[in-house]
Amino acid sequence: MLLRFAVENFRSVRKYTQLSFLATSQKDEPAFRLPCPAARYGVLPVVGVFGGNASGKSNLLHALTTLGDLVNHSAARAGPQEPIPWTPFRMETKTGAQPTQFDADFVADGVLHHYGFSYTASAVHEEWLYRWPGRSRQRVFHRSDSDGRNPWSFGPTLGGARRLIAEATRPNALFLSTAALLNHDSLGQVARTLGSLTRTARRLQGDDFRLAPNDAVVQPGNRGAVEAFLQAADLGIHGFELREDPDLADIRRRLAEDPPTAHLASKLARSLQVEFHHRDERGGTWILPSMAESEGTRAVVLRLNEVLPVLADAGLLVVDEIDTSLHPDLCAALVGLFTSERTNPHGAQLLFSSHDRGLLQRLRRDEIVFTDKGADGATSVRSASDFRGVRGREDLRRLHEQGRLGGVPVLGDFRVALRQDFTDG
C-alpha cells in the first residue's frame, strides 16, 4: 500500500513535489478508503491527475514507475560503467547538474516504511530506509557518498550479510536492489514489495491485439466477471472465444516435426486471438474477430486485463490517459472498480491521468490532483481538497471549467495563430 511519494529534479518536475494517497477529514463520496494504522483518515484507493497538455501529468506518473524500475533492475545492469537512466529538469543548467530524488512512504508486511534515494547518471549519491514497527522510527540503513570513508550506516535490527552486500553494491546500483539480488531476507521482501507495487498500464494502440494464455481476462476464474462487465458496458457483446494464432500454431507444428528444431517448439510463445459473440434481434449469435471490433471495445478488454490482477493482489496500477478510446461512462466504471469495497476488497490502488472532466464528479476531492506548467516550464501540483469554498462536485467541475482551479490550458486565438479566418458554415 502506497501512502505518499515525492520527486525532485525529474523531467518537468523541478522542485520537491509530493503526491499523497492519504485521505483528508473531508466528508466526501465515494466514502471508501483503505484502513491503515499510519493514516488517521485512511488511504485513498484512487488518485486522478488532471491538467492541460504538457503540464507534467505523464512525468509525475513516470516518476513513480521509474522509482520501482530502479529498485527492480539497478543491481542487474550490465556493468559498473553503465550509466543510470537519468532525465533531470532541463530548463536550467545548474538545476540539471543536481541529483534527482525519489522517496516514498509505503506499507510492507503491515509495517510503515520510508525509502528514498538521490542519483545522477553516474552514481547513487544517497539512499535510506526507515521503518516504524511501533510509534518510534527505526533506521534500517543509510548510505551517503558525502560521508567519506564510512558511507554506510546500519540500524541495530538489520541482520544478515549487510557489509558484504554493501561491498557488492556498485556506485550505479541501489543497495536495496543489490540486497534483493543477493537474497537478503528482510530487505529482499521490502524491495519486492516496493518494486512490484507499481504496474504500468500499456499505451493503447489501434492495432489488433492478442492475448497470452496467462493473461487475466482468459483465466477460467475471471471469465464470468469479464463477460458480465462487457455485457454491462452495452457493447453488444454477450461472450467471447479464444483461438490460438493459426500462423504461430503452424510454425510450432513445423518446428516440432523436425528433430533438429523440436526443442524450439515449446519455447515459442503462444498467442491467442479473440472472437466476440454478438446476439442478433432473433436471439441468434454472430461472431466478430477482434480486428473488426471498435477501438473502444478492445480498450475495455485490455484495461480489464490490467485491472483484474491488481485488484486480486492489492497492487497499484499506473495508467497514463486512462480515458483513451473509452466513453466517459466506461472510464468511470473502470475507476469505480477501485473506489468500491465490493469490487476492491483487498485494497488495490489506482493512479491515473485524464482529461475527462466527468471523472471529477466520480471522485473525492482529495482523490483529485491538478497539474500546471509555470513560466519556467516546471510542473506544479495541487490537490482539489486544498481549495476552499468548493461545495460539491458540480461546483468543482464548474470552477475547473472556468479555469479557477488550474489544471487547464490557457488557449490563444487559433485563427490568428493559423493566419486564417474561420467562418460559420
Q: Which domains does the chain have, with CATH numbers?
A: 1-201+320-425 (3.40.50), 216-295 (no CATH)
**Mean pLDDT across the stretch 246-256?**
74
User: In angstroms, rounded to a whole number, what is the distance separating the alpha carbons of residues 271 and 120?
Assistant: 40
- Of 340, 342, 347, 335, nearest to 310 by C-alpha is 347
Strands, E assignment, 41-178: 46-51, 100-108, 111-119, 124-132, 138-144, 152-154
**φ, ψ dihedrals at 272, nearest 5°:** -110, 135
pLDDT digits 0-9 by tens, 55-74: 899 999 999 999 999 999 99
Among 18-22, 187-191, 295-299, 322-326, the minimum mean pLDDT is found in: 295-299
Please say if the pLDDT value at position 386 is more than 60.
yes
Is residue 418 over pLDDT 80? no
Of 13-17, 64-68, 390-394, minimum mean pLDDT range: 390-394
| Selection from 410, 364, 408, 416 nearest residue 390 by Cα | 364
The lowest-confidence range among 47-61, 206-220, 287-301, 326-340 is 206-220
pLDDT value at residue 199: 77
What is the radius of gyration, based on Cα positions, of the chain? 24
Who has greater pLDDT, 175 or 275? 175
Predicted local confidence at residue 297, as pLDDT: 82
Query: How much is the pLDDT for 215?
Result: 85
Question: Considering the entire predicted model, what is its pTM?
Answer: 0.86
Residue 123 has pLDDT above 80, yes or no: yes
Q: Residue 257: its pLDDT value, please? A: 76
349-379, pLDDT tens digit by residue? 999 999 888 888 889 989 999 999 888 889 9
**Between residues 78 and 115, the one the model is more confident about:** 115
52 has a pLDDT exceeding 80: yes
| Least confident range of 2-11, 172-181, 182-191, 216-225 | 216-225
Instruction: State residue 46's pLDDT score.
Output: 97
| Position 30, amino acid | P
The band of 102, judged by pLDDT with boundaries at 50, 70 and 90, is: very high
Bridge pairing between strands 349-354 and 316-319:
parallel
pLDDT of residue 266: 65
Residue pair 362/333 in contact by the 8 Å Cβ criterion: no
Asked, as a colleague might, if the bond just before 35 is cis with ω within 30 of 0, I would say no
Distance CA 172, CA 169 (A): 8
Q: Which of 151-160, 253-262, 297-306 has the highest mean pLDDT?
A: 151-160
Q: Confidence class of residue 411 from pLDDT cuts 50, 70 and 90?
A: low
